[in-house]
Structure 1
Amino acid sequence: MEPSSLTLDAAFWITAAAILTLLVLSGLFSGSETALTAASRGKLRARADKGDTGAQQALDITEDNERLIGSVLLGNNLVNILATSLATAMFTRLFGESGVALATLVMTLLVLVFAEVLPKTYAITNAEAAAARAAPVIRVVVRVFSPVVSAVRLLVRGVLRVFGVKTDPDSQILAVREEIAGALYLGHSEGVVEKEDRDRILGALDLGERAVEEIMLHRSQIEMIDAENSPRAILDQCLQSSHTRLPVYRDDPDNIIGVVHSKDLLRAMYKLVMGGENVSAEALEQFDICDVAMKPYFVPETTTLDDQMRQFLRMRSHFALVVDEYGTLQGLITLEDILEEIVGEITDEFDPDAEHPIRRSDDNRFLVDGAMTIRDLNRATDWNLPDDEANTIAGLVIHEAQMIPEVNQVFSFHGFHFEVAAKSDNRITKLKIRKL
């Protein structure tokens, strides 16, 4: 029989049509796999909320990525192998033994262009739209191949376990924060996301992982009122203070008996002095600060910032005293302190001239306040100093030096050069830092 007569054979055309159909299915599987894995779940959720059923189905089937990829790969390999087998049989019939090599070349070209590169390029360019369109079909494929994929998944996990590899189906859920952080850093490096926006979002994400003790005002810096002081001394202290709320102690600074608000103090004193018929400053001596002091609110130093912020909002309070596991006062924290972890330093009309904790020195090094937290320093300079062992930059130097250094003493660690610029008693107050 002549080759020309074979081309008119019905079996030839049926085989050719089957190969083309299988190539289309292969392209569908390849493009769907790329679209469903590359599509942003956030964007799909936004489309689903607007009534896009395809986007909702895409979200449903991507809940189990392992089963989705297994089903798509099974279908893709099935149609590719079947198409190649049919092409080999057809070309062998047409050209004899040389048809095997010809079929390999032709099918490689067709699969590469029309079943791999073309659909995947389209899927990457229009990931969410392609995922929404392909989801109804892939959903059926996943259901059909589910028993086979389950068996393959058990086999794969068994083999991986032999080599000590454990699979975690919830790993993508736990990695959401890392994905957001990575996207923000990438966007900032490419100039799409501003540094301030990146820091604000990352600050909000970190609230659940940071404890109160990391940002609290240490007890050595807390301004307190002694309940035994005279009313005139208490009034003078409150008027000169830049703080609205002040803790009140009796006998020992660890014995906090209340917290006084300046408005409550002034109202009570004004009423006492001006309330009688005979206005006299001597009436002020009858004032007892315990009458206006609010009950102190204590929180453990291990409370997360996220939980503490929720407590502040629930209790309509802005001020809490921090204690350790033994109930000893360690510091205080305010709602403003937590908000500063998100939006950065907040100043008002009472502290416009406050010295910035970091500035350039004359020798072009950074002059840093020793009490500045490592996190704030990293945010201000885009450095990556570790904050696992210490909260403040002075604490980091003491931890690494394993001693209390003297002024002008120099250290080098973590890729930075540290020089102690000033010291008060055993506390490092100023450091000069430069990157090596």
Structure 2
Amino acid sequence: MDPISTTFDAAFWITSVAILALLVMSGMFSGSETALTAASRGKLRSRADKGDKGAERALIITEDNERLIGSVLLGNNLVNILATSLATALFTRLLGESGVALATLVMTLLVLIFAEVLPKTYAITNAEAAASRVAPAITIVIRIFSPIVSAVRALVRVILRVVGVKTDPDGHILAVREEIAGALYLGHSEGVVEKEDRDRILGALDLGERAVEEIMRHRSQIEMIDAGLEPMAILDQCLKSPHTRLPVYQGDPDNIIGVVHAKDLLRAMHKLALGDGGSTDAWRAFDITSVAMKPYFVPETTTLDDQMRQFLRMRTHFALVVDEYGSLQGLITLEDILEEIVGEITDEFDADAEHPIRRSEDNQYLVDGAMTIRDLNRATDWNLPDEAANTIAGLVIHEAQMIPKVNQVFSFHGFRFEVLARKENRITRLKIGPL
């Protein structure tokens, strides 16, 4: 019999076709893994809402990434090992023992090019479209390999537990917030996303993680009305104040009995003076509590997201913040919360002195001590830590472990802090710049 016909018999061709089929399957597994892990769930949801059944299936199977990746890797390794074994047998039959080395070289090139680089490059370029196409087939693979994958997952967790690594079966690889934040920072670094847009979106995302006490106006900065003052003195204070709403206390500043709105106060006094039977003498009997609204108190641990919802539900913009003992700590307004999203909001009544940050001639920053660390970071793109303190003055005191004196200079976290002004025990002005 002809040796050539014996070599290239039916078994040869069947084995060759099987190897090619296994390489195609390996490429499908590799591309599927890349497509399903790289695809944006937001874009998949958009495709699913438009009627794409593949995208809807992709959303379902990507909810459990551990099971998905385990099944795909199991299938990929099976077909790769089987293809390599068949190729080794085929080349050994053709070339003898030297065929093992040639089979290794050929299969390495074929797997690298056609089963790894090519399908993964396509998948990463068209992640959502590729994920939608392969999702039905991968769903079947997951069902077939599910028992094996479950056993492997249990074994892996036992091994990790033995070496002291804890795993969270219900945890996601990346939380949605971190995904969005990472995309925004990457977009800003590449010039695609403007800094203001990035800060606004991140500010909105952070509302649920930040407490009222972090942004409230401290009680030392609150302007109040003493209910025991003469009506003319109350009116004069209200007219001179840049604020529309002012808390009213009786005796002790902690004893808040109401909140007066300037419009309500002026309307009541106008009626007493110019209304029917009114006269300026009638002002002497004016009682400010008659026009004061009931005070609205909130705990200092309330999140900004919850507080904003409460403001909208109660149709009010003003709340007094108390601690766990009921003592007044500060106040917060709807504008304060909105400023965490859109940045500083100023109007014609805001004094220039209230702007908390200015650039000095030596290219450093003159900063109000009461400015929050978060606001400074947003304004300068710095990354000062805000775990130990909310304000810049608080951070300096925390790091210095003392109340600094004027002209004292400190260096920490890669920045230079110089105390410019101090009022009693409060640092009111600092000069800050990177080292």
TM-score (norm 1): 0.96
Output the CA distance in 2 between the equivalents of 1:353 and 1:407.
Answer: 23
| Deviation of 1:354 (Å) | 4.4
- The Cα offsets for residues 112-157 of structure 1, whole Å up to 9 and x where unpaired, read as 1111111111001111100000000000000011111111111111
Matches within 5 A, 1:25-104: 25-104=25-104
- The Cα offsets for residues 336-383 of structure 1, whole Å up to 9 and x where unpaired, read as 001111111001121264442111223332111111111111111111
Counterpart of 1:334, as a letter, is T
Output the CA distance in 1 between the equivalents of 2:282 and 2:101.
Answer: 110
| Deviation of 1:97 (Å) | 2.2
Cross-structure match for 2:124: 124
Q: State whether residues 272 and 280 of structure 2, in contact with CA within 8 Å, keep that contact through their aligned partners in structure 1.
A: no
Cross-structure match for 1:301: 300
| Deviation of 1:170 (Å) | 3.0
**More displaced, 53-62 or 383-392?**
383-392
Output the CA distance in 2 between the equivalents of 1:198 and 1:169.
Answer: 32
2:164 is aligned with 1:164: yes
- The Cα offsets for residues 374-406 of structure 1, whole Å up to 9 and x where unpaired, read as 111111111111111211111111121122211
2:146 is aligned with 1:153: no
Output the CA distance in 2 between the equivalents of 1:90 and 1:112.
Answer: 20
Output the CA distance in 1 between the equivalents of 2:73 and 2:426.
Answer: 63
Matches within 5 A, 1:421-432: 421-432=420-431
Cross-structure match for 1:199: 199
Matches within 5 A, 1:1-400: 1-172=1-172, 175-277=175-277, 279-351=278-350, 353-400=352-399
- The Cα offsets for residues 243-266 of structure 1, whole Å up to 9 and x where unpaired, read as 111101111111100001111112
Counterpart of 1:199, as a letter, is D
- The Cα offsets for residues 180-207 of structure 1, whole Å up to 9 and x where unpaired, read as 2222112111111111111111111111
Q: State whether residues 3 and 94 of structure 1, in contact with CA within 8 Å, keep that contact through their aligned partners in structure 2.
A: no
Could you list the runs of 4 or more consecutive aligned residues of structure 1 that deviate by over 3 angstroms after TM superposition?
352-355
Output the CA distance in 1 between the equivalents of 2:362 and 2:112.
Answer: 61
Q: State whether residues 6 and 94 of structure 1, in contact with CA within 8 Å, keep that contact through their aligned partners in structure 2.
A: no
- The Cα offsets for residues 149-186 of structure 1, whole Å up to 9 and x where unpaired, read as 11111111111111111221333276222222222112
Mark the CA change 1:173 to 1:346 in structure 2 (over 3 Å): closer, same or farther: farther
Alignment partner of 1:322: what SS? strand
Q: State whether residues 184 and 198 of structure 1, in contact with CA within 8 Å, keep that contact through their aligned partners in structure 2.
A: yes
Counterpart of 2:176, as a letter, is V
Output the CA distance in 1 between the equivalents of 2:276 and 2:346.
Answer: 40
| Deviation of 1:77 (Å) | 1.1
**More displaced, 342-351 or 176-185?**
176-185
Counterpart of 1:426, as a letter, is N
Mark the CA change 1:64 to 1:314 in structure 2 (over 3 Å): closer, same or farther: same
**More displaced, 281-290 or 166-175?**
166-175
Output the CA distance in 2 between the equivalents of 1:187 and 1:173.
Answer: 21
Output the CA distance in 2 between the equivalents of 1:403 and 1:8.
Answer: 88
Output the CA distance in 2 between the equivalents of 1:6 and 1:84.
Answer: 23
**More displaced, 408-417 or 361-370?**
361-370
Q: State whether residues 300 and 325 of structure 1, in contact with CA within 8 Å, keep that contact through their aligned partners in structure 2.
A: yes
Q: State whether residues 322 and 331 of structure 1, in contact with CA within 8 Å, keep that contact through their aligned partners in structure 2.
A: yes
Alignment partner of 2:131: what SS? helix
Output the CA distance in 1 between the equivalents of 2:168 and 2:27.
Answer: 30
**More displaced, 336-345 or 350-359?**
350-359
| Deviation of 1:17 (Å) | 1.2
- The Cα offsets for residues 198-234 of structure 1, whole Å up to 9 and x where unpaired, read as 1111111111111111111111111111111121111
Q: State whether residues 272 and 279 of structure 2, in contact with CA within 8 Å, keep that contact through their aligned partners in structure 1.
A: no
Cross-structure match for 1:412: 411
Alignment partner of 2:56: what SS? helix
Output the CA distance in 2 between the equivalents of 1:188 and 1:352.
Answer: 33
Q: State whether residues 215 and 333 of structure 1, in contact with CA within 8 Å, keep that contact through their aligned partners in structure 2.
A: yes
Q: State whether residues 423 and 430 of structure 1, in contact with CA within 8 Å, keep that contact through their aligned partners in structure 2.
A: yes
Q: State whether residues 19 and 87 of structure 1, in contact with CA within 8 Å, keep that contact through their aligned partners in structure 2.
A: yes
**More displaced, 54-63 or 172-181?**
172-181
| Deviation of 1:307 (Å) | 1.1
Mark the CA change 1:92 to 1:60 in structure 2 (over 3 Å): closer, same or farther: same
| Deviation of 1:334 (Å) | 0.4
Output the CA distance in 2 between the equivalents of 1:268 and 1:180.
Answer: 51
Cα RMSD (Å)? 1.5
Mark the CA change 1:3 to 1:421 in structure 2 (over 3 Å): closer, same or farther: farther
Counterpart of 1:316, as a letter, is R
| Deviation of 1:7 (Å) | 5.0
Instruction: List gaps (5 residues or longer) in structure 2.
Output: none
Mark the CA change 1:109 to 1:315 in structure 2 (over 3 Å): closer, same or farther: same
- The Cα offsets for residues 36-75 of structure 1, whole Å up to 9 and x where unpaired, read as 1111111111111111110111111111111111111111
Across the two proteins, how many residue pairs are aligned to each other? 435
Output the CA distance in 1 between the equivalents of 2:10 and 2:275.
Answer: 112
Output the CA distance in 2 between the equivalents of 1:172 and 1:166.
Answer: 14
Counterpart of 1:296, as a letter, is P
Counterpart of 1:406, as a letter, is K
Counterpart of 2:34, as a letter, is T
Output the CA distance in 2 between the equivalents of 1:6 and 1:260.
Answer: 103
Output the CA distance in 1 between the equivalents of 2:173 and 2:208.
Answer: 16
Q: How high is the sequence identity, in percent, across the aligned residues?
A: 84
Output the CA distance in 1 between the equivalents of 2:194 and 2:44.
Answer: 25
Q: State whether residues 40 and 128 of structure 1, in contact with CA within 8 Å, keep that contact through their aligned partners in structure 2.
A: yes
Mark the CA change 1:309 to 1:173 in structure 2 (over 3 Å): closer, same or farther: farther
TM-score (norm 2): 0.97
